[in-house]
Amino acid sequence: MAKGKTARPVTRIQREKREQILEAALDVFSANGFRGATIDQIAEAAGMSKPNLLYYFGRKDDIHKALIGRLLDTWLDPLRAIDPNGDPLSEIRAYIRRKLEMARDYPRESRLFANEILQGAPRIMDLLEGELKDLVDEKSVILRRWMDQGRLARVDPRHLIFAIWATTQHYADFDVQVRAVLGPDFSGEGRFDDAARLLDQLFLTGLAPKNARHGELAK
């Protein structure tokens, strides 16, 4: 930008057009991955011409970067919300529930992220090695402190987080498989409640301190 000039404010119409493009791109990227998606596909899904789309985003990479940046910010919120001053089992239960809610409410975003990881994360490796790793390290310290205090069974905190990611995001990334196996009688919205009950039992029973009284997990 030339010296002395200021950026023009973004208009409401420009914001709406950008959102229209990003919403369409989310469908295209989550279905086809980065390599399989094209600007033409995104423009068609957005209901606009290719030149019009390129006015707002100069490259496919720019659209993908905007989506991934917004996704990671949303995706990390439940992990950020773990309270070091809270009850350990309650905090972990709440984290599992929030992750399942995200699998239910943001399946396209989850598949977008999974596609990027399966390709080797070429466009987000700096975020994985930076912001994500820093946050996991921070929460691992909290989990380890709870273990040292005898409030959680001792496990590897990072692998615990990985296991929660794997079991909750499965319901977004493999939703078609889940619904096919459950069948029409059990594949409705209630499948997330069923999953939550199972994961509570799986994780919280395993993480309860050995001296915990029977029934404490039901609180």
pLDDT band of residue 212 (cuts 50, 70, 90) is low
Average pLDDT of every residue of the chain? 89
134 and 89 within one domain:
yes
- What is the domain-level CATH number for residue 196? 1.10.357.10
Whether residues 89 and 135 fall in one domain: yes
Q: Give residue 217's pLDDT band: very low, low, confident or very high (50, 70, 90).
A: very low
Q: What is the DSSP string of the chain?
A: --TT--PPPPPHHHHHHHHHHHHHHHHHHHHHHHHH--HHHHHHHHTS-HHHHHHH-SSHHHHHHHHHHHHHHHHHHHHHT--TTS-HHHHHHHHHHHHHHHHHH-HHHHHHHHHHHHTT-TTTHHHIIIIIHHHHHHHHHHHHHHHHTTSS----HHHHHHHHHHHHHHHHHTHHHHHHHH-TTT-STHHHHHHHHHHIIIIIHHHS-TTPPTTGGG-
Q: Of 58, 73, 88, which closes a domain?
A: 58
Q: In this structure, are 36 and 73 located in the same domain?
A: no
Do 25 and 103 sit in the same domain of this protein? no
Residue that wins the pLDDT comparison between 25 and 9: 25
Q: What is the CATH number of the domain that holds 29?
A: 1.10.10.60
Is the pLDDT higher at 219 or at 176?
176
Q: Which residues span the domain enclosing 52?
A: 7-58
Number of domains in the chain: 2
> Tens of pLDDT along 98-137?
999 999 999 888 888 888 888 898 888 888 999 999 999 9
For residue range 161-171, what is the model confidence (pLDDT) as tens digits?
999 999 999 99
Q: Is 1 inside a domain boundary? A: no
Read out DSSP for 91-127?
HHHHHHHHHHHHHHH-HHHHHHHHHHHHTT-TTTHHH
To the question of pTM greater than 0.85 for the whole model, the response is no
Whether residue 7 is predicted with pLDDT greater than 60 in this model: the reply is no
Are residue 70 and residue 132 in the same domain, yes or no? yes
One-letter amino acid at 13 equals I
